[in-house]
């Protein structure tokens, strides 16, 4: 069994728009801790980056499209580019994970109700053992719910597809471990 940390769409543009992602600074600090702990344990870190298309906030090649500078991907981290909410759809993610023998995914990032939700469900459908980090995903208010309500709703909903744990409860293990997260 082998594990990877999947950081979904934590891109610079999510923090520079007029209404930045909910509790963005807190999210970055928590993600920095998760990433550092994963690297220390020898757990691969995978960054997923969304390309919204030309003229959009997250257009490929723009500063907003880049991974948030506070997370600083390293040379041995994997970066997967996508253009749909599903991090697996029409990307190399599945092949990259299989090539590394990954069986378990710890998922965090942005946007709770779109890409985090879709990627969590797809990962479970593909047979990965998934852990969602309850306090390490975020979104925005919508017309009906506050961002916190959206986060809480999706965290609860995703218990059907993933184990849900707080960042403090996440235990990273290296390749070919017999441990469970």
Domains belonging to the chain, first-starting first, are 3-169 (3.40.50.850)
pLDDT of residue 175: 66
pLDDT of residue 179: 57
> Is the pTM higher than 0.85?
yes
pLDDT of residue 176: 56
Catalytic residues: 115
For residue range 120-150, what is the model confidence (pLDDT) as tens digits? 999 999 999 999 999 999 999 999 999 999 9
118 near 112, Cβ under 8 Å? no
> Strand, coil or helix: what is 39?
helix
pLDDT of residue 1: 73
Residues of the chain with pLDDT under 70: 175-181
pLDDT of residue 180: 54
12 near 65, Cβ under 8 Å? yes
């Amino acid at each position: 069994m082998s594990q990877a940390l999947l950081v979904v769409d934590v891109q610079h543009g999510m923090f520079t728009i007029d209404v930045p992602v909910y509790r963005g600074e807190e999210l970055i600090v928590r993600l920095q801790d998760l990433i550092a702990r994963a690297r220390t344990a020898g757990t691969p870190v995978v960054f997923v980056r969304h390309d919204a298309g030309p003229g959009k906030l997250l257009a490929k090649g723009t500063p907003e499209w880049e991974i948030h500078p506070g997370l600083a991907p390293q040379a041995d981290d994997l970066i997967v580019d996508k253009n749909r909410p599903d991090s697996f759809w029409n990307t190399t993610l599945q092949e990259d994970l299989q090539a590394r023998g990954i069986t378990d995914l710890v998922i965090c990032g942005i946007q709770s109700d779109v890409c985090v939700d879709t990627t969590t469900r797809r990962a479970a459908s593909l047979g990965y053992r998934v852990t969602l980090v309850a306090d390490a995903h975020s979104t925005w208010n919508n017309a009906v719910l506050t961002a916190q309500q959206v986060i809480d709703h999706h965290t609860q909903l995703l218990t059907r597809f993933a184990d849900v744990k707080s960042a403090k409860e996440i235990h990273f293990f290296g390749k070919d471990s017999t441990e469970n997260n």
